[in-house]
Amino acid sequence: MRSLIFALLILFNSISFPQYGDFKGKVTDGILPIQFVNIFLLNTTLGTASQSDGTFRITGVPVGIYEVRFSSIGYETRVFDITISEGKTVEINVVLKTSVIEVDDVEVTGLRQQKQSDTRTSLIDLNPRDAKILPGAAEDVLRTLQSLPGVLAPNDFSSQLIVRGSGPDQNLIIMDDVEVFNPYRLYGVISMFNPDAVSDVNLISGGFPAKYGDRLSAVLDVTNREGSINKNLTGSLNASIVDANLVLEGKNPFDIKGSWLLNSRRTYYDLIIEPFVKSAGLVEESTTFPNFYDVQGKLVFGPFNGHKFLFNGVYSRDGVNVISGEDRNTADSVGVFNVTRNDIISGAWHYVPNKKFFNKFVVSWYRNSGDTDFDSQILDPSLNRSDFEDVLPDTLRPYLLGFKFNGDFSYTKISIDDKLTYFWKDHVFEAGAGYDFMETRQNFNFELDPQLEAIFLANPQVRASLSDLRDLKKYNRFRAFAQNNFKLSNKLYFNPSLRFDYYDLLDKSYLAPRISLSYAIDEITTIRAVWGMYYQSPGYEKLRDQNVLFDLGDRYAKNLNAERAYHYVFGIERWLDNEWSLRFESYYKDFQDLIVPQIVEGTRFFIEPVPGRNSRFIDGWTSPVPVKGDSVTQIPINNAFGEAYGFEFFIAKKNLSRSSKLSGWISYSLAFADRYEYNNKFPFRFDQRHTINIVLNYDVSNWFNFGIRWQYGSGFPISEAIGVKPRIIYVDNDFDGIPETPALATRRSNDPSAEPQVIYDVDYGDRNFNSRKPEYHRLDMRANFLTNFWGVDWIFYLDIINVYNRKNVIGYDYYIEDDLTLGKRPGNMFPILPTLGFSVKF
């Protein structure tokens, strides 16, 4: 009996109190450490991700034999058997080789895990595969980011990022350590980032560290992957009904260490849609539809005894040439020619003499340039254009206004950057410096017909915004930073940092301190907080995202200060298990010294109806009387401030094994964004109170999966018209060739004996953003069919944008009815839009 009791006690203790060991190691590509590698013990809930130095550690592993998997996008997945013994630590060093993701492999979907020692808040580490499969995103990286918390799209037609109450001009965008001014293609519809060629996509939507600067809002840091080192030639082709994307890659020839990768994309609206439109006579035969193509390449040599050399190149062109045809049924006649160019050449040297030191030296040349010629005869905006469809051109002539615009721009940047990382005990120290030589050229010319010119002369606000501009500037930027992430305790990490910027354009320098910390409540729960100061210099390359024109000549620029913002961010993240994570984050951004156009004293006109007279005719109104008013100039001044604050909730599900079918995320944002300008408070133009995103992907089988994406937004602010008012123009009464006398504008009807009638304009009042657009919502769906034939893997897909054909409003077209009341016609975004395509890897 005693023996039986003793045996039962031993059994009870062995069941109730299992013994544990630890598991640690390092992951590299043969020389450089690899961060964010997913490391999981299969058939358990235990796992982690490698740190910036490639190391990892899993504690408290019950004794036993396990299969452990190492996986990361862009690298081969490797599985090892390990044995955990009581009180022992198993150590393993793993080398992962770069690889194209095979269709029949288990593909990890969902956002990547952030380690607890990483003090960065608001970090979104996007898996490039999510951009490939997200419904309605057109396989585009920026459009995929628009489905994540804190990030908005201006409208369906734009891939720009609106981040936490800031405009797209306040986002720093980097590709392979090169700042990119214009990452958009096809005039903003898609971006330059090809998910088939990208390895890392990091968006920091607030509180970014000191190594980033000269922006007030957010940072998008994208790295293109290296080519395969396992084959001489491999690649993939992705094609749909509107574009095609080809990726070729392989190891270097002649047994030279390293690899190469070449990818190219092209739209073919001009090849498919253009012939049908020309045959219908809607455009002239010389018309070229909007199209773009680009070629991107990456060449890697090494590693050679701790040295690695990387070369990147981008060659991109957007173009359009449209001339309205004689058989059109619309009143307007438009001729548009535009070419936009984006080119990058860069070289990098990575030096890793030992496991504690890493240095990156980068030299780059970047140019964004373009030419535009616009010639139009547009219907008077006060008229209802539907009344003028199919009207003969000669009949239309009195109602048309001529407008011409031509211009060119060129933004060139030559940069030198050096950054080092040093691992010392519990410290990760980073420092660096960089220098930019900038040359910006901008020329814009406007030509108006006499009627339109008279309208603008009587409206100084519009007149100033359409003034000619010619400027060539050459200036420099210098930057330096230092930051140190170190462990204060086993649970608390602290990262103080400091950034210095000198802006030659302003002839001013700035210091920006920043502090971030993280606290590990337990192994699966982390609190993070950030405070920081941020500066942004003015520049023509930033103004294009604002769609405004400033004169940045020396007489004005030297009087400016850099725009400034303070970020306060607090968040908490918890992993519910290996696949489910939950995050709450709140933020406050305080904007100071924002640059706006200077307003000077100008002239407006007071006029009122004459009692008892018909207001359709001149004698129904008093003569225009000049009174003081505001006149907007192109002179930039620091005379505005603002704030943005809100709360974000985010729950995400990864797909980490074949038995796991579901992946995706759900997010909700409550946000407020206001601006204060000339003692007036108004909502920021992209202030959206409520935003919801639901993204779900489900693997039905090993050959079929589908996904849905539903978006909801409570509506952006809009400046709605409040009524109608008589049009006042300047006329030349003394025949000296100078229009200087205010008068009511009139128009004769087709009856020459009839009295001319007063022309009315839409009245928008003096208050900006006095209303809001209707709420926005849209459902997108995508189905993927996977197969293999001819010895290669294929994916055929059907993608449907706006499944229930919601008419989301982008804006309103106001016009004046015959009874002088205000008419309104909504302009809508994407209708239901199905797309078929395929992808093949060979």
Helix, strand or coil, per DSSP, at residue 236: strand
* Confidence grade of residue 418 (pLDDT, cut at 50, 70, 90): very high
CA 664 centroid distance within chain = 20
Amino acid 106: pLDDT: 38
Count of CB atoms situated within 10 Å of the CB of 738 = 9
- Can you list the alpha helix ranges (DSSP code H) found in 211-356? 269-279
* Residue 142 parent element (H or E): helix 141-145
Backbone angles phi, psi at 73, to 5 degrees: -60, 130
Residues 6+ apart with CB under 8 A from 766: none
Locate CATH 2.40.170.20 in the chain: 234-506+515-723+766-841
CB 640 within 8 A of CB 677: yes
CB 812 within 8 A of CB 824: yes
- Which pair of structure tokens corresponds to residue 724? 């109608």
Higher pLDDT, 566 or 25: 566
DSSP readout, 337-370? EEEEEEEEEEEEEEEEEETTEEEEEEEEEEEEEE
Backbone angles phi, psi at 254, to 5 degrees: 60, 30
Amino acid 15: pLDDT: 35
Highest mean pLDDT out of 83-87, 341-345, 465-469? 341-345
Q: Which tens digit of pLDDT belongs to each residue from 186-243?
A: 778 889 999 999 988 999 999 999 999 999 999 999 999 999 888 899 999 999 877 8
Locate CATH 2.60.40.1120 in the chain: 2-95
CA distances from 770 to 465, 718, 796 (A): 22, 6, 47
State the CATH class of domain 2-95. mainly beta
Percent of the chain at pLDDT above 90?
50
- Tell me the CA end-to-end span of the chain in Å, nearest whole number: 70
Q: Which tens digit of pLDDT belongs to each residue from 296-306?
A: 999 999 888 88
Higher pLDDT, 283 or 159: 159
* Confidence grade of residue 103 (pLDDT, cut at 50, 70, 90): very low
CA dihedral 204, 208, 213, 217 (to 10 degrees): 60
pTM equals 0.84
User: What is the rounded distance in angstroms from the CA atom of residue 155 to the CA atom of residue 773?
Assistant: 12
User: What is the rounded distance in angstroms from the CA atom of residue 298 to the CA atom of residue 197?
Assistant: 10
**CB-based burial, 301-336: b 16+ in 10 Å, e otherwise:** bbbeebebebebbbebbbbbbbbbbeebeebebbbb
Place of tokens 């696949």: 579
Please determine, for residue 394, whether its predicted confidence score (pLDDT) is greater than 80. Answer: no
What is the third-level CATH fold of 234-506+515-723+766-841? Maltoporin; Chain A (2.40.170)
Backbone angles phi, psi at 395, to 5 degrees: -70, -30
Amino acid 78: pLDDT: 84
* Residue 542 parent element (H or E): helix 540-543
Could you tell me which of 532, 670, 652 has the C-alpha nearest to residue 121? 532
